[in-house]
Amino acid sequence: MQQVQEKMVRVVGLRKTFGHRIVLRDVNFEFSAGKIIGLVGPNGAGKTTIMKALLGLMSTDAGNVRILGQPVSVNTHTIVTQQVGALIERPAIYPFLSGWQQLRLMATSLEQMTWVVQALQMDAYIHRPAKRYSLGMKQKLGIAMALVNRPRLVILDEPMNGLDPQSVKRLRHLIVQMAGEGTTFLISSHILSELEKIIDTVILIDQGEVLLQRTMRQLRESTRQSLAVRTTENARALRVLLQADYPVTQRGSDLIVTKPVALTPLLQALFAAHIQILKVNQHQEDLETVLLRLLAERKA
């Protein structure tokens, strides 16, 4: 229980500029051990810069980073070497070495190498030279290199790039399994539908600023719900529901009720008007829709 509450990462007042361009603007966030954190935002928002700062790969103009309470910078990152695994941008792979040989350069034991190869189902090609790997094979090798020593923190930048659906599913399962065993994950991905299935918390960043940090439970509680109704007489059904003060509009062949309402009275109003109902669907915003709405509201 103590480990779950431990602050794995704490970022305070992080700022970074490239020339006259401000990349990070007073970035603050923290999260505990054993969690899966999604770092999301548009291209150029600053996600990769944050990840590089966490790994001590990039200097910053102000602020500080701590992992497990220890400071991280370009000059001080012993904790990163010992406790953190990462895949940032593209895997750093030697083309003439086999995947197995590259894992051996990083691994602390053959047992760990065998475990990660089997977990990602790389047995069929792990002994081939990496120059013969497909994009997906290279991506899995990069992920394997990040995971092989079972680090306490894993930072993954677009880990699902190039992976087929089966490999994506296997990776999701492995991440959840490792998080259950205490590993913390910080994952950046544009494939929000996949990210939504595994993350505990989302950090949304735009133009170098953290717009929000919320648990998925908090985010789902704030999502908008709607009801789609299709009838044999949509024009008349629309009039009936408007007269009954329902917040309803027509969109294509459906009537959309834009706020949560009790379903039974709504259906009874249509039945009383002798209108035949063809379809009723309840819809809740997914992560992608919510975040796009929040970004649009910010720019409005």
Domain that includes residue 264, residue range? 225-284
Confidence of residue 4 (pLDDT cuts 50, 70, 90): very low
Is 96 in the same domain as 137? yes
Residue 157: pLDDT above 60? yes
CATH code, domain carrying 178 = 3.40.50.300
Q: Which helix (H) or strand (E) holds 175?
A: helix 165-180
Number of domains observed in the structure of the chain: 2
pLDDT at 144: 96
Residue 213's Cβ-count burial label (10 Å; 0-12, 13-18, 19+) is middle
Predicted local distance difference test score (pLDDT) of residue 76: 82
Q: Do 169 and 254 share a domain, yes or no? A: no
298 domain-assigned: no
Pick from 184-193, 208-217, 278-287: least confident: 278-287
Does 288 score more than 90 pLDDT? no
242/202 same-domain check: no
pTM strictly above 0.85:
no
Provide the percentage of residues in the chain whose pLDDT is more than 90.
61
Residue 69 in 3-state DSSP? coil
Mean predicted lDDT score pLDDT of the chain? 89
263 and 234 fall within a common domain: yes
The per-residue pLDDT for 299 is 66
- 3 pLDDT band, cuts 50/70/90, is very low
Let me know whether 159 and 238 are in one domain. no
Q: What is the CATH number of the domain that holds 250?
A: 3.30.70
Residues 157 and 143 occupy one common structural domain = yes
Determine, yes or no, domain membership for 294: no
First-to-final CA distance of the chain: 43
